[in-house]
Amino acid sequence: MVIILHKRKIDIWLLITIVVLSLIGLLIVYSASNAIALKEHNDQFYYFKRQLIFLFLGYLLMYFITKMNIIKYQQYAGTVFLICLVLLLLVLIPGIGIVRGGARSWIGFKGFSIQPSEFIKLGLIGIYAKYLSENYQDLKKFKNFLMLFSLTVVIFLIIMLQPDFGTGLIIVASATVLIYISGVPLKYFILILAIGLCGVAFLIISAPYRIARIMAFINPWQDPLGSGFQGIQSLFAITPGGLFGHGFNKSMQKHFFLPEPQNDFIFAILLEEFGLIGGAIVMALYYFALYRSFKIGLSTDNNFLMFLCVGIAASLAVQVIINIAVVVGLLPVTGITLPLFSYGGSSLVLTLVSFGVVLSASKYQNYDYR
C-alpha cells in the first residue's frame, strides 16, 4: 500500500510565531548584554551584532530547508548523525576543543565557535526517527529496545566527558519520548527509569559542584556569594519586575549583578523589564509554537516525519521548561539555554534549523489539523 501525501503550503502561523520569538529574543539579548559588552569589548552592540549574524544565518538555513522535500532526509539521517558524532568527539581532543566555564564544549575558529552538543540533538532525533519509522515493531523485543536506548546512553556519556549535564538531560528526555510513542511496553520504561535514577544519583554524588548546586537550590542563602549567587540574583531581577516591569533596557541586574545575563538567565532580564505580563506572552508564544509542532507531526501518515517532528518538539519543550523553571527557582541550575533567546550561535542556528524541518514537514499533512 502506498500512501500519497498531499503537499500544502508551510504553516504560516508557526513561521510568524518563530520570527516573533526570535526578534524579541534579539532585542532582549541587546538589553541584557549591552552593559557587559561595553565593559569587556568597548562596544555595547558586541553581542547583539554577533547574535544578529547568526539569526540571519539561521533564517537562511530555515528558508532553504522549507523548500526541501524533507521526506528525503530519511536517506541521509545516518550520515548527518555520524558527522555530528565526529564533531562531538573532536571537542574532547586538547587543542581542538575550547574550554569555557569549566566545560570543553566548543570548537573555535578565528573568533567564532560552534557547540557540537547542540547539533547532536538534531542528529540523534533524525537517526531515531529513521530507525523507528522502519523498525518500530521490533522494539517490542527487549533486546532491540535496549540496543536503541544504549545509543542515547553512549551519546549522554560522551557529553558528560565535557561535561554538559543539561544538554545530556535534554537528549535523554527527547529520546525517551520518541521511544515511548513508538509503542514500547511500559515495563521496559519502568526498568530504564529505575536504572536512570540510580545513574543520575551517581553523577550528582561524583561531582561536588553538582551537590553544591542541589544545596544552593534547597537553600541559596547558605552560600549567597558562591553556589547560590546566580539563583538569588535571578530572583532579585524577577521580583521588582512586578506585573509590567521597568521597561526595555532598564534592568538593574544586568549591571554586573546577574552573571552572564544574556545566556541561561536571559528570561530573568525579560521578567525584570517586561514583568509578569511580558513573561506570560513569551511563554504563550512558546506554547503555541511547540503545540503546533507536535500537531504537525501527528497530522501526517508518514512515520518518519511524525517521529522527526515530535522528537524536535519534545527536545525544545524540555529545554524551554527546564530553563524557565531554573530562572524562577523551581529547579537547580543546569546550564540549559532558552531557545531563540539565549545568546549563542550554535543554539540559535540549531533551533531555527529544527523549526525549519518542522515547517517543511507541515507541507505533508493528511488532514488540516487546525
pLDDT means over runs of 10, the chain (370 residues): 57 95 96 92 92 96 93 90 90 78 70 80 92 79 80 88 82 84 78 75 69 69 69 81 87 84 91 94 96 92 90 94 89 85 90 95 69
Q: Between β-strands 97-100 and 103-109, what pairing exists: parallel, antiparallel or unpaired? A: antiparallel
Q: What is the pLDDT of residue 101?
A: 64
- pTM, 2 dp: 0.89
257: which DSSP letter?
A: T
Whether 346 maps to a domain, the answer reads: no
- Residue 38 has what pLDDT? 92
Number of Cβ within 10 Å of residue 224's Cβ equals 14
CB neighbour list of residue 116: distance below 8 Å, 6 or more residues apart: 84, 87, 88, 90, 91, 105, 107, 346
- 54 falls within a domain: no
Residue 247: inside a domain, yes or no? Answer: yes
Determine the length of the chain. 370
In a domain, residue 285? The reply is yes
Q: How many domains does the chain have?
A: 1
| In-domain check, residue 273 | yes
Q: Domain of 123? A: 73-340
Residue type at 209 in one-letter notation: Y
CA–CA dist 228, 213 (Å, integer): 7
Inside any domain, residue 292? yes
> What does the longest C-alpha to C-alpha distance in the chain come to?
65
pLDDT at site 352? 96
3-state SS assignment for residue 112: strand
Residue 29 lies in a domain: no
What is the model's pLDDT at position 193?
74
Q: What integer pLDDT is reported at residue 197 of this predicted model?
A: 76
- What pLDDT score was predicted for residue 330? 82
- The CA angle 39-45-51, to the nearest 5 degrees, is 120
Residue 347 inside a domain? The answer is no
